[in-house]
Amino acid sequence: MTIAAHIDGGLAVHPLAVRFGARIEGVDLSALDDDTLAAVEAALVQYKVLFFAGQRWTAAQQVAFARRLGDLHRHPVFDRHRDADELVVFAYDETRRGANDTWHSDVSFVAEPVKYSILHAEEIPPLGGDTLWLDAEAAYDGLSAFLKDFLGNLTSEHFFFKNPTPDALARLLAEGDADARTAAFGPVVHPLVRTHPVNGRRSLYVSRAFTTRIPELTPIESDHVLRLLFEHLDKPEFHLRWQWQADTVAIWDNRSTQHLAVSDYFPARRRVRRAAVLGERPR
């Protein structure tokens, strides 16, 4: 059964799941007026992840659109686009397996993490290569009142090199002075439960990829609580799965979601490029 579209702020919105996710029709992201851009951003906060088909963007157009939403993050490690330093390129083929298949919120390891990610699909394998998102607000809502009270007093530490390989550790140690390394890679401490600055809703802000510990707890307590939360976030009722087509753009709100890219398509080719819009310090 297809869910009927409705008009929301002038946008044709097709909800994709019970809790979150929507497909937007009839919008050219390279030619938005200010009112339509504001409607897209409002829909983004409401639906958390939006999809736009048929967006034949150049790298420059993607950067120009992203800049209208805020300052852009330049990733310290991932490959950047040859024509646009602000874009990260994730390109995998028969020589390189996909490597983004762990739940995470983009760049949570800096003091003011990314609020929006904007991903353009350039080349998609014939089968596989889907992306999954989870609704971290719904996951918080699904906790008991007792656990919500307990977690509300805690923080979480985030670090890019949570489990560094020797090569990654060497790269980290070579990256400037200590302050520069921390600014680029963490570790940084955020609230374990963060409040969205626009809608006021609370969400879990821990991820398997980047959260290392809960500083207020002993190591064994921290490990057990994080394991419980990671298993809770794994519940399918919080998830949305998207099958890509080339020239589709996804925009998502990292303040209320996490995501992972399924690495099931090796040795096929998959190439996407991402802009990341910096946000505020989590509260």
Cross-strand partners of 52: 249
Q: Which one is predicted more confidently, 168 or 11?
A: 11
Question: Quick check: is 68 catalytic?
Answer: no
Q: Under the phi-then-psi rule, with left for phi > 0, alpha for psi from -120 to 50, and beta for the rest, what region is 169?
A: alpha
State the pTM of this model. Answer: 0.91
Q: Of 120, 270, 273, 274, which is the active-site residue?
A: 274
Token duo for residue 276:
């990341």
pLDDT class of 137 with cuts at 50, 70, 90: very high
Token duo for residue 133:
């998102």
Rounded Cα distance, 74 and 70, in Å: 13
**Is 206's pLDDT higher than 50?**
yes
pLDDT class of 1 with cuts at 50, 70, 90: very low
Token duo for residue 52:
């736009």
Spatial contact of 135 and 198, defined as CB atoms under 8 Å apart:
no
Question: Quick check: is 106 catalytic?
Answer: yes
Cβ-in-10-Å burial (0-12, 13-18, 19+) of 197 comes to: middle
Q: Of 73, 106, 196, 213, which is the active-site residue?
A: 106
Compute how many other C-beta atoms are within 10 angstroms of the C-beta atom of residue 283: 9
Q: Under the phi-then-psi rule, with left for phi > 0, alpha for psi from -120 to 50, and beta for the rest, what region is 10?
A: left
Q: Of 23, 73, 104, 255, which is the active-site residue?
A: 104
Residue among 188, 222, 229, 187 nearest 207 (CA): 229
Q: What pLDDT does 51 receive?
A: 98
Q: What pLDDT does 162 receive?
A: 73
Spatial contact of 160 and 210, defined as CB atoms under 8 Å apart:
yes
Rounded Cα distance, 89 and 96, in Å: 13
pLDDT class of 68 with cuts at 50, 70, 90: very high
Spatial contact of 77 and 171, defined as CB atoms under 8 Å apart:
yes
Residue among 219, 113, 217, 213 nearest 162 (CA): 213
State the fold for domain 1-283: Double-stranded beta-helix (3.60.130)
Q: Of 213, 259, 270, 273, which is the active-site residue?
A: 259
Question: Quick check: is 247 catalytic?
Answer: no
Q: What pLDDT does 165 receive?
A: 55
pLDDT class of 80 with cuts at 50, 70, 90: confident
Rounded Cα distance, 110 and 188, in Å: 6
Q: Which one is predicted more confidently, 212 or 168?
A: 212
Token duo for residue 124:
């998609």
pLDDT class of 159 with cuts at 50, 70, 90: very high
Spatial contact of 113 and 282, defined as CB atoms under 8 Å apart:
yes
Question: Quick check: is 75 catalytic?
Answer: no
Q: What pLDDT does 33 receive?
A: 95
**Is 128's pLDDT higher than 90?**
yes
**Is 4's pLDDT higher than 60?**
no
DSSP 157: E
pLDDT class of 3 with cuts at 50, 70, 90: low
pLDDT tens digits, residue range 101-124? Answer: 999 999 999 999 999 999 999 999
Q: Which one is predicted more confidently, 76 or 46?
A: 46
